[in-house]
Chains A and B, each alone.
Chain A
Amino acid sequence: MDLRDGPEETAFRATLRTWLEANIPAGLRGFRGWSGPAALALGRDWSKRLAHAGYAGLTWPKEYGGAGRPWRYQAVYLEELARAEAPQHLGVIGLGMAGPTIIAHGRPDQKARYLAKILSADEIWCQGFSEPGSGSDLASVRTRVEPVGDGFVVNGQKVWSSYAHIADRCILLGRSASAGDKHEGLTYLIVDMKAPGVEVRPLRQITGEAEFNEIFFTDVAVPKENLLGDVGGGWRVAMTTLSHERGTFGFALAGALDVAVRKLVALARERAGNDPLVRDRVAREWIDLQALRYTNYRALARLERTGTPGPEGSVAKLRWSEANQRLTKLAIEIIGREAQVAEGDGAAAYWRHQQLRSRGNTIEAGTSEILRNIIAERVLGLPRSR
Chain B
Amino acid sequence: MDFSFSPEQDQLRAQARSFLEKRFPVARLAEIAASKDGWDRAAWPELARLGWTGASIPEAQGGAGLSFVEEAIVLEELGRALYAGPYFSTVALALPALACAPDLLERVASGALTATLASPAANASGPAVDARRDGDRWLLRGEADLVPDAGWVEAFVVPARGPDGVGLYLAERHDARPGIRVLDTVDATRRLGRVTFDDDAARLLAAPPAAVKIIAATRRRALAALACEAVGIASQALVLGVEHAKSREQFGRPIGAYQAVSHKLADTYVELELARSLAYWAAWCIAEDDAEAEHAVIAAKAYAAEAAVAACERSIQVYGGMGFTWDHPLHRYYKRALWIESFDRSSAGHRAEIAHAILGG
Give chain A's interface residues, CB within 8 Å of chain B.
1-6, 9, 72, 75, 265, 268-269, 272, 274, 276, 279-280, 282-284, 286-288, 290-295, 297-298, 300-302, 305, 311-312, 315, 318-319, 369, 372-373, 375-377, 379-385
Contact in complex: A381, B242 (CB < 8 Å):
yes
Query: In this assembly, does B253 line the interface, its C-beta being within 8 Å of a C-beta of chain A?
Result: yes
Q: How far is the CA of A38 from the CA of B242 in the complex (A)?
A: 53
CB nearest to B353 among chain A residues: A283
Q: How many residue pairs between the two chains, A and B, have CB atoms under 8 Å in the bound complex?
A: 155
Give chain B's interface residues, CB within 8 Å of chain A.
1-6, 9, 69, 238, 242, 245-246, 253-254, 256-259, 262-263, 265-267, 269-270, 273-278, 280-281, 284, 290, 295-296, 299, 302-303, 348, 351-352, 354-355, 358-361
Q: A1 touches which one: B2, B274, B296 (CB < 8 A)?
A: B2
Contact in complex: B274, A295 (CB < 8 Å):
yes
Contact in complex: B355, A297 (CB < 8 Å):
no
Given A9-B1, A382-B246, does the pair A315, B265 have CB atoms closer than 8 Å? no
Q: How far is the CA of A312 from the CA of B273 in the complex (A)?
A: 8
Contact in complex: A375, B3 (CB < 8 Å):
no
Given A265-B358, A287-B303, A295-B274, does the pair A383, B259 have CB atoms closer than 8 Å? no
B301 to chain A, nearest CB (A): 10
Q: B256 touches which one: A72, A284, A319, A376 (CB < 8 A)?
A: A376
Complex A-B: 5 CB contacts under 8 Å: A3-B2, A283-B354, A295-B277, A379-B269, A383-B246
Contact in complex: A373, B259 (CB < 8 Å):
yes
Contact in complex: B359, A382 (CB < 8 Å):
no
Which of A283, A302, A311, A318 neighbours the largest number of chain B CB atoms within 10 Å of its CB?
A283
Question: What would 16 more interface pairs be, CB under 8 Å, given A287-B302, A315-B273?
Answer: A1-B9, A1-B284, A3-B281, A9-B1, A268-B359, A286-B299, A287-B278, A287-B354, A290-B299, A297-B1, A305-B4, A369-B263, A377-B262, A382-B265, A383-B256, A384-B257
Chain A residues lying within 8 Å of B296, measured Cβ to Cβ, are: 290
Contact in complex: A294, B270 (CB < 8 Å):
no
Contact in complex: B358, A1 (CB < 8 Å):
no
Main SS at interface, chain A? helix
Chain A to chain B: the 5 pairs with minimum beta-carbon distance, closest first: A294-B277, A376-B262, A291-B274, A382-B256, A301-B4
Contact in complex: A294, B281 (CB < 8 Å):
yes
Contact in complex: A319, B3 (CB < 8 Å):
no
Q: How far is the CA of A287 from the CA of B281 in the complex (A)?
A: 12
Chain A residues lying within 8 Å of B281, measured Cβ to Cβ, are: 3, 290, 294
Contact in complex: A382, B3 (CB < 8 Å):
no
Contact in complex: B1, A2 (CB < 8 Å):
yes
Which of A268, A288, A291, A373 neighbours the largest number of chain B CB atoms within 10 Å of its CB?
A291
Chain B residues lying within 8 Å of A6, measured Cβ to Cβ, are: 1
Q: A318 touches which one: B265, B270, B299, B354 (CB < 8 A)?
A: B270
Q: B266 touches which one: A3, A286, A295, A376 (CB < 8 A)?
A: A376
Contact in complex: A385, B358 (CB < 8 Å):
no
A376 to chain B, nearest CB (A): 4
CB nearest to B298 among chain A residues: A287
CB nearest to A293 among chain B residues: B277
Q: A315 touches which one: B5, B245, B270, B280 (CB < 8 A)?
A: B270
Given A297-B1, A297-B3, does the pair A380, B269 have CB atoms closer than 8 Å? yes
Contact in complex: A315, B274 (CB < 8 Å):
yes
B48 to chain A, nearest CB (A): 25
CB nearest to B263 among chain A residues: A372
B4 to chain A, nearest CB (A): 4
Chain A residues lying within 8 Å of B358, measured Cβ to Cβ, are: 265, 282-283, 286
Contact in complex: A286, B354 (CB < 8 Å):
yes
Given A3-B281, A372-B262, A376-B265, does the pair A382, B245 have CB atoms closer than 8 Å? yes
Contact in complex: A295, B273 (CB < 8 Å):
yes
Chain B residues lying within 8 Å of A286, measured Cβ to Cβ, are: 299, 354, 358
Q: B1 touches which one: A287, A300, A383 (CB < 8 A)?
A: A300
Which of B254, B278, B284 neighbours the largest number of chain A CB atoms within 10 Å of its CB?
B278
Chain A residues lying within 8 Å of B263, measured Cβ to Cβ, are: 369, 372-373, 376
Given A2-B1, A287-B299, does the pair A298, B266 have CB atoms closer than 8 Å? no
